[in-house]
Chains A and B, each alone.
Chain A
Amino acid sequence: MRARAPERPKTPAAFLLMALAAVWMALVIVLPLVNVLAEAFKQGVQPYLSAIVQPDALSAIRLTLTVAAIAVPLNAVFGIAAAWCVTRFDFAGKGLLLSVLDLPFTISPVISGMVWVLLFGAHGWFASVLEASNIKIIYALPGLVIATVLVTLPFVARELIPLMQDQGTDEEIAAVTLGASGWDVFFRVTLPNIKWALTYGVLLCTARAMGEFGAVSVVSGHIRGLTNTLPLHIEVLYNEYDSVGAFGAATLLAGLALVTLVLKTLLEWRFGDELAANRRH
């Protein structure tokens, strides 16, 4: 079987299709991005700069980074463990486990936030226990973290599982046979083989963790300077008609999205083979 190579457009139909695609991409994808910049700099550079260094914005940035710094490593370790047991061993209930692992992608972010309120909120299952021991989860940092963990849970595992499946276990079994310990096998054989797929998964996971809105919005309580992550900070300012402030903060997240896209594209170009399982299908 031979696939057809892309060619320069020659027929009128080809140019028509290209024009349609160009207009659609410009209108649907590019314009909203450019609009963020235009709105942020509407009143000039000075108001923009003061908008992104105001104390509430800075504390939102700090909180966003904190949440991601806790949630992403947790999901990375989980992703490696899940990929290891799913691709290296056979056991009953594996299919079910994989379905559960995919669930966070299927459910609405709002639901991913509300389930924590049902557990730890004022009328939640564990409300009395939490009150007795004076622990705050909802409307506090732990709530933001667990909501983010749930939403971003599958990212790393999803990258690693197809790749490790494809790579098989020959190299690892050889290492064990030659007397390497379990951790030696992991750090010297497995990790070098999966490092770019791991990087790719962590990248997507981080981007989503920092940009998540629906799930954290439910558990945050929108306390200014305390529980507002950057996306929630945008919402608060926008609803207060502070357009420059909202779009100023939005440029930071849009910048993050663009950096993510660039890094993702670079990884796909440079290490396409080592992310093979992801790109080939």
Chain B
Amino acid sequence: MTVNATPTPGAVPLATEGYKPPKATHKARVLPGFGLSLGITLTYLSLIVVLPLAALLARPWEHGLDGVWQTISDPRVLASLRLTFTTSLLAALVNLFAGLIVAWVLTRYEFPGKGLVDALVDLPFALPTAVAGVSLCSMYAANGWVGSLFAPLGLRIAYTPLGIFVALVFVGLPFIVRSVQPVLAEFDAEVEEAAATLGATPLQTTLRVIVPSLAPALLTGFSLAFARAVGEYGSVIFIAGNMPFVSEITPLLIVIKLEEFDYAGAAAIAVAMLSLAFLSLLLVNALQLLLSRRGRA
């Protein structure tokens, strides 16, 4: 699998470089415990991950291909997919800029309270989604702290797609910051100095030299935030209003189908959502590959 999407901050690919473990042949296997540890790992993964996902992939076909098509082409399902993917995309885009600025400030400047701000970036990872959900909902409702500022302008945020966007922005911020921060921190100062020596203004250096070299990290953060947003449930359903065709996200539709005991329908929607997310991530990965090729040339 090439899709690299985990919500861990600063996630590193598990593929290994440097140390090479010995081949598990009889001769080279000095350390004990290969059979036991592999046995536990395989059994556990099969029971907890593989078997349940097999059930998910097998379930939609109960009523044949037609049944699947009918479920997925239902206008209500299509509307929810459109809503889920567009709000996720917009939220990830906004976080691309906001996250870059926050990461920049945290790595480039020294200021009092920096440690606190740095730690707070992880709050959306640590705060349970239900807590974020009810809090955002009450903040952006017409009588809430933020919502009451916009209500006189006739702009409603809670219970509209805008509310979903707001919740997804909250959820996605740390992904971008944590992807960009380490790369920015290790950016070679000599490159910047060279640009300055050659007459570049600070703005030119930033936009033409630094930001392009951050592009792969930005893309990684973007795809992590996007993937998380597509599946997000807890922080969204309170503020969404959940009106069919207007503000109903796909994960909620899955829950509704399950409550109606339409397992095949729920599984079909879930598989469709997963496939679309998977395709978008492949696209981002391809873009990343292109960027890194161009960087090397």
Contact = CB atoms under 8 A, between A and B. Distances in A.
B61 to A, nearest CB: 13
A112 to B, nearest CB: 8
Given A90-B22, A101-B45, A158-B8, A107 B231 contact: yes
Given A3-B187, A105-B8, A32 B136 contact: yes
Contacts of B105: 17-18, 21
A122 B262 CA distance: 11
A81 interface: yes
A31 B120 CA distance: 12
A84 interface: yes
Contact of A150 (B5, B48, B145): B48
Contact of B49 (A31, A100, A185): A100
B202 A89 contact: no
A253 B135 CA distance: 12
A101 B29 CA distance: 24
B126 A260 contact: yes
B89 interface: no
B24 A91 contact: yes
A98 B14 contact: yes
B55 interface: yes
Contact of B37 (A84, A123, A235): A84
B234 A108 contact: no
A13 interface: yes
B3 to A, nearest CB: 7
A89 B21 contact: yes
A152 to B, nearest CB: 10
Contact of A29 (B48, B138, B170, B187): B170
Interface stretch (B74-82, B263-271, B283-291): B263-271
A137 B186 CA distance: 50
B171 to A, nearest CB: 10
Interface string A115-153: 111110111110000000000000000000010011001
A243 interface: yes
B138 A243 contact: yes
Interface in A67-86: 77-78, 81-82, 84-86
A146 B52 CA distance: 11
Contacts of A210: 128
Contacts of A66: none
A173 interface: yes
Interface string B156-174: 0000000000000110010
B2 to A, nearest CB: 9
Given A106-B6, A217-B255, A33 B135 contact: yes
A150 B10 contact: no
A172 B21 CA distance: 12
B41 A115 contact: no
A257 B104 contact: no
B259 to A, nearest CB: 9
Nearest to A173: B30
B69 to A, nearest CB: 20
Contacts of A280: 182
B119 A261 contact: yes
Given A78-B44, A105-B5, A279-B10, A172 B22 contact: no
Contact of A213 (B50, B106, B130, B186): B130
Given A85-B34, A108-B232, A32 B135 contact: yes
Given A86-B41, A109-B231, 8 more contacts: A13-B203, A35-B145, A108-B270, A110-B233, A125-B55, A185-B32, A257-B128, A258-B126
Interface of A: 1-4, 6-9, 11, 13-14, 17-18, 20-21, 24-25, 27-33, 35-36, 39, 77-78, 81-82, 84-91, 95-111, 114-119, 121-125, 146, 149-150, 153-154, 158, 161-162, 165-166, 168-169, 172-173, 176-177, 181-182, 185-186, 207, 210-214, 217-218, 231-232, 234-235, 238, 243, 246-247, 250, 253-254, 256-258, 260-262, 264-265, 277-281
5 smallest beta-carbon distances between A and B, as pairs: A108-B231, A211-B128, A115-B52, A182-B32, A213-B234
